[in-house]
Amino acid sequence: MNMTGAKRFSKASGASRASDTIRWIVAAIGALVMLFPLYWMFATALKSKGEVFSRQIHLWPTQWEWSNFSKAWNSMPFTHWYINSFAIAIIAVIITVFINLLAGYTFAKYKFWGRDIIFFAMLSTLMIPIQAIIVPEFLIISKLGWVDSYWGVVFPRAAEAFGIFMVRQFMMSIPDDLIEAARLDGASEFTIFRKIILPLSKPAIAVLVIFTFMWRWNDFEWPIVALQSQHAYTVPLGLNLMQGPYGTNWPYLMAMALVSIIPILIIFVLFQRYFVQGIASTGLK
């Protein structure tokens, strides 16, 4: 390499390092901006009620009130509400993931009359706001006797159009030759689905589990209609009760809001190995 080429390579290498440094700085600033609300929740949860309403703003508590977590937990039946939330979220994940996988596989690998019409009709339901169907849904679960029950919250959202679309997009990348080879070997359709499709669909399953658990855990609008007694409430409904008409104990509310985030973080950590791969494979941006 001559001197001119060496200088050009050195300049290109220096420009690349400078560009990488700028990207890291921008990413770090973005991460700090996104994490600040979470930190503010944590700081508020450890402050006294008087300090929260003080005219002086502190980025960290002057006195660390760790007892706010236990006091807030015992101030209302959060143990029972967490059990309700976990039961609804886990049941919903099992049912929704199973239905979405079967429906997505059907739309991706089976050819039948009206397949595309049915698929696009199903996708069009994403444009219908929940407010437009909330009354008919309530009348249905009321006739079935599911008001104030887990089933009344789970089944109206048992099949998600978004989840079916995502699974279909993922399974279209699975070679048809694998399925045809299994059929030639005499495997039944359900055996093919269970032993070939499901093992190859782990990234899509991980995305479905994370999204479904997150949506069900954070859902507020439908549970507040379907669950009419405080005994059947979930965590988001319980957090709403902490906002009183004459004042709100913000340290207690922030403490319980932080605790409510923990299950979602655990689910994400457990399935994050396949999460990025699943998002990339389904074509979601």
Residue 54 within a domain: no
- Residue 282's pLDDT is 52
Same domain for 15 and 75 = no
Give the per-residue pLDDT at 275.
63
pLDDT tens per residue, range 159-173:
888 889 988 988 888
Asked if 88 and 179 sit in the same domain, the reply is: yes
Our count of domains for the chain comes to 2
Within a domain: residue 29?
yes
The per-residue pLDDT for 98 is 92
Residue 24: predicted pLDDT: 87
pLDDT tens for each residue of 6-30: 555 455 555 567 777 888 888 888 8
Assess contact for 226 and 138: CB atoms under 8 A. Answer: yes
**Whether residues 127 and 10 fall in one domain:** no
Task: Tell me the CATH number at 178.
Answer: 1.10.3720.10
Whole-number pLDDT of residue 242: 86
Q: Is residue 74 part of a domain?
A: yes
Q: Please check whether residue 189 lies inside any domain of the structure.
A: yes
Tokens in use for 180?
């045809």
Q: Are residues 40 and 73 in the same domain?
A: no
Cα 250 to Cα 53, 70, 219: the distances in Å are 9, 14, 21
- Residue 82's domain comprises 69-282
Residues of the chain with pLDDT under 50: 1-2, 9, 283-285
Asked whether residue 55 is assigned to any structural domain, the reply reads no
Q: Residue 247: in which H helix or E strand, if any?
A: strand 247-248
Residues 33 and 152 in one domain: no
Angle at 274 between CA 270 and CA 275, to 5 degrees: 85
- Whether this prediction's pTM lies above 0.85 is answered by no
Tell me: do 129 and 37 sit in the same domain. Answer: no
CA nearest to 69, candidates 237, 259, 249, 243: 259
